[in-house]
Structure formats: structure tokens, C-alpha cells
Amino acid sequence: MALALVNTRASIGMQAPVVSIEVHISNGLPCFTLVGLPEATVKEARDRVRSAIINCGFTFPAKRITVNLAPADLPKEGGRYDLPIALAILIASEQLPQDTANEFEFLGELALSGALRGVKGAIPAAIETYRQKRRLILSTENAAELALIPDSPHLVAEHLLQVCAFLRRETTLSTPVRETETGDDVAPPDMKDLIGQEQARRALEVAATGGHNLLLLGPPGTGKTMLASRLTGILPDLTPEEALENAAITSLTHTSPGAKNWLQRPFRAPHHSASMAALVGGGSLPRPGEVSLAHNGVLFLDELPEFERRALDALREPLEAGEIIISRSVAKVCFPARVQLVAAMNPSPTGHYKGTHVRTPPQQVLRYLAKLSGPFLDRFDISIEVPLLPTGVLSAQKRCGEASEQIRQKVLTARAYQYARSGVLNAHLQGAVMDEVCRLDEQDAQFLEHALTKLGLSVRAWHRILRVARTIADLEGNRTIRRHHLAEALSYRSMDRLLQQLHRALA
């Protein structure tokens, strides 16, 4: 037959729409034409496909070959279409049967020798194919990530010749085998390694319990980064559904590592020189940024004021909505972005704002802090000072705090209360549910209102303090929020107190 049809999958954000590869071979001067809005990398498939077919011992038709990638208005990029194009040419030239190919979809890049190479976005493509009760054939390089899909029916191959033999029913292809879940060779950082900083440790525990965004404020060398790096050690593991969603996002940027540590919550720590596109995602055909790669985990921003202000402000919407929508002329995509933001910063350009180390006047400190917009700082439920350790603490080398596993058990128990009560973590409480869960008696409400007025805080801060107080109550197993819970929540407003102190110094 001179006409063939093979199905494959595109990659548009988290979606994997079906793409039909139509090949028509007709008489005329030999030429190879690709149509259907192909990017430059797709057009390069002509040379790869021709070489792969010849090197596998097949005959490349010396005729006019037209390849259509339908639908034509769908953007297409990468080498993921090499395998289906090669198979469609072999079917159209009657070197392979069409009926067997109709039962499968194909995805993979071809080496010049005909070897199959892995592609990005394999997990979204496999999930979408599975939902439509079809099967996908890919490279063995994608086998580890395909095995993460429960009851995955998909097949993998190493070479074009294997796929061709399978379509002729001469052999069988293997299904991905899930690896044994393993942990890191190096044990994760433990909270018991920290010396001092009891209040900061407590704040980290509260933040982990309620999923609250956390700002660590203090001079250099006080342990801010050490604290942040230990947060994932006290968080619960990902559920299999969350882990698969994270693996799908990761597969859009590079091949997923498979089952190794796949239940561990992601911890992303981009450098402060990262652009807005690197943080929130971007590109002509958008790819996920750090905020999406940290989905269901922790996004840590060290040296916070050194980031571009517009890049930080771009995080405001995803921090509230739990997703990021990126619009481009060719596509509009939505990536998940439910993260717990943890940031660390020095309180002044020199790193100190009080004591004998102060070398910066209040005006210069305020200019430094002005790099962070008020709406962005409002996204932090907890801001805590991490001060210099008192004299004698370091020399004593006394580590008396709880280990990460002990704290983790308390976090798990308190989180179970939250999910049973409202179905979400306290940091995500909204509307009528929050009013019911965070109800205060009249005297406590007046106490909190007076404190907010004194600190000059907004209505949004009222809600955030209530959410933190609710988390503190959950850690104690109390059903109602009490005065000491509110007092502790108010103590986690170090940035507000610093700004108030600086304004008073200038008054």
C-alpha cells in the first residue's frame, strides 16, 4: 500500500495529545517532505530515519515521500516522532503490516544505527495512552519511569529491528519491570545534628505540620541553610499518586530516575541568579520551572533578596493557587505547583542589624529589604529569626534536640487530624471552612486584633496567624485555639517586627 497511518503522542505541558503520522509514497522525483507544523528538530528526523532504515537492512523508497503530522495546528518538537515516522514509511512501502501497528502507539528517537533512544515526557504520554485503553511502545531508556505506572501494559524495545520483528509477530517485547525502591546511600540530614536554635527548630516543626511557608531571617553562619535542608526529613513520604505526578513533571525535563527515592519529597534549591523562566517555567513551548519541579515538596530560596524582584513576584500566584499557567503564542499550558516555600536571608547588606556587628544605617537596611515586595512577604505564614548562638554553646557541643524521626511522627499525627477535619492542610484553609476550624472566642479575637494593630499587619496576616495557631493547637492535640497558641503564632512574625523597628529608628 502507498498510504500508512501510525499513531504517536505529542508533549504539550502535562498533556499528551494523540498525533497521527500519515505517510504517502507516490511516483516522482525522490524527495522526503515533512508537513504539519514541525519544529527544526522534527525536520531533522528525515536524515535520522533514512539512515536508520538503511542500516537496519530495509529498503528506503526512492520515490516521493510525504509525511503529515496531524493535527497540523498542534506544535511538535524533539526527536520523539522518529520511530513512528520510520514505521509508517516501512508500512507504506509494504515492508511491514498495517494491521498490527493499528493496535499500538509508538514513541522514540532513532540513532543512525536504528537503536532506540529515550524521550522526555514519557510518563504523561503513557498515562494518556493507558486511559484510552491502548498500548505504547518506547525505548528501554524510558523503562524505569514507565514501570512507576501501576499495571502498566506498555512495551519497550532497544532497536528498530526489534519493533519490526514484533509487528511481524516474529518475537515479543518486554514490559517494564519496576525496580526495588531504595534509599540514599547517605542518610538524610538529621535535626539532632543542630546545636541550639530551639525556637527555629520549633518553627520548622510547625511549618512542616501545617505546610506553612517559612522565612528564616538572620546573620551569616547561624544555621539557616542547615535548618532548611532538614525539612524534608520531618515531612511524610509522598503517596504513590503524588509520586507519579511528580515523576510525570520530572520526565518533561529529563528522564526520570525510576523507583529510586521516588516517594521522597522533592527539595529544590535554585541559585539566586535563576531567571523568572527558570523559577516559574517558560520557553517557546513551555517547560516546567523550579516551582513545578518542587511540586508536593519544598522550594528553598537562599539569599532571598538577591533574586530578581520580578522573578519572586511571579511566584505569588502559584503559591496561592497551587498551579502555574504559562501562555505562549503556540500553546497555553498549566503545571502543578503546590509547594512549601522556605527562604533564607540576611537582615541587611552586611548580614547584621543589631549588636556590635552593625555597620549599616536603618535607611540602607530598609532599601535592602525593599527588594522584596510586600505582597510577596505576605505569602510567608512564619518568619523567624535565627540569631547568633550565645557564647559557650558551640564549645559545649551540646546536642539535646529531638531527632528527625521523632519530630516526623508528631507531624504525621497532627497532619492526620487536619485531613480528617477539613481534607486539607491548615496552610490551605479557605473561606467558611477556615472560619469554622479557626473559631476564636471574643476575648482571644480582641487580643489578636490588638496585636495586629500594634504590628500594623493586614487582614491577610490575620488569616495566616490563625492558620499557624490552628497548627500549633493540632500539635498539642487541642480542638480549640487558645491564647497561648495565638501568642506563639504571633512570635513567628520576625520580619514584621524588624520593619517596625527600622521605621521607629527613622521616625
Which CATH number does the domain housing residue 374 bear? Answer: 3.40.50.300
Of the residues 122, 152, 167, which one is the last residue of a structural domain? Answer: 167
pLDDT of residue 151: 86
Domain that holds residue 476: 191-506
- Taking each helix axis from N to C end, the angle separating 483-491 and 442-455, rounded to the nearest 10 degrees, works out to 20
Using the 8-state DSSP alphabet, how is residue 182 labeled? -
Are 285 and 358 in the same domain?
yes
Does the bond joining 71 to the residue before it have cis omega, within 30 degrees of 0?
yes
H helix runs in 230-299, sequence order: 240-251, 276-280, 290-293
Could you give the CA distance from residue 22 to residue 43 in angstroms, rounded to a whole number?
Answer: 15
pLDDT of residue 433: 92
* Residue at 472 is within a domain: yes
pLDDT of residue 192: 86
* Residue at 395 is within a domain: yes
Place of cell 471552612: 433
> CB-based contacts of 116: which residues, under 8 Å, 6+ apart?
83, 108, 109, 110, 138, 139, 140, 141, 157, 158, 159, 160, 163
Are 497 and 465 in the same domain?
yes
Check which CATH number belongs to the domain holding 27 and give it: 3.30.230.10
pLDDT tens digits for the chain (507 residues)? 589 999 999 999 999 999 999 999 999 999 999 998 778 878 889 999 999 999 999 999 999 999 999 998 888 888 999 999 999 999 999 999 999 999 999 999 999 999 999 999 999 999 999 999 999 999 999 999 899 998 889 999 999 999 999 999 999 999 998 776 554 445 568 888 887 788 999 999 999 999 999 999 998 888 899 999 999 999 999 999 999 999 999 999 876 666 567 888 999 999 999 999 999 999 888 999 999 999 999 999 999 999 999 999 999 999 999 999 999 888 889 999 999 999 999 988 887 666 656 677 888 889 999 999 988 998 999 999 998 877 666 666 666 678 999 999 999 999 999 999 999 999 999 889 999 999 999 999 999 999 888 877 777 788 999 999 999 999 999 999 999 999 999 999 999 888 888 888 887
Give the number of other CB atoms < 10 A from CB of residue 303.
15
pLDDT of residue 391: 66
H helix runs in 176-268, sequence order: 198-210, 224-229, 240-251
Q: Angle CA(322)–CA(328)–CA(333) in degrees, nearest 5? A: 35
Are 157 and 216 in the same domain?
no
* Residue at 183 is within a domain: no
* pTM for this model (two decimals): 0.91
Could you give the CA distance from residue 202 to residue 217 in angstroms, rounded to a whole number?
Answer: 15
* Residue at 390 is within a domain: yes
- The beta strand positions in 315-443, using DSSP E, are 323-327, 332-336, 340-345, 382-385
- Beta strands 109-110; 116-117: pairing state: antiparallel
Could you give the CA distance from residue 115 to residue 505 in angstroms, rounded to a whole number?
Answer: 70
* Residue at 56 is within a domain: yes
Are 423 and 315 in the same domain?
yes
Asked if 190 and 232 touch (Cβ cutoff 8 Å), the reply is: no
Are 330 and 470 in the same domain?
yes
Count H helices and E strands in the chain, helices first: 23, 18
Could you give the CA distance from residue 362 to residue 38 in angstroms, rounded to a whole number?
Answer: 57
Could you give the CA distance from residue 114 to residue 83 in angstroms, rounded to a whole number?
Answer: 9
* Residue at 186 is within a domain: no
Closest CA to 126 of 99, 154, 98: 154
Asked if 389 and 196 touch (Cβ cutoff 8 Å), the reply is: yes
Asked if 86 and 210 touch (Cβ cutoff 8 Å), the reply is: no
- Beta strands 18-26; 3-9: pairing state: antiparallel
pLDDT of residue 104: 96
Closest CA to 181 of 264, 254, 247: 264
pLDDT of residue 114: 97
Give the number of other CB atoms < 10 A from CB of residue 130.
17
Are 120 and 207 in the same domain?
no
Give the number of other CB atoms < 10 A from CB of residue 170.
9
Element (H, E) at 250: helix 240-251
Query: How many residues make up the chain in this entry?
Result: 507
Backbone angles phi, psi at 192, to 5 degrees: -70, -10
Asked if 266 and 338 touch (Cβ cutoff 8 Å), the reply is: no
Cell of 305: 533578596
Q: How many domains does the chain have?
A: 2
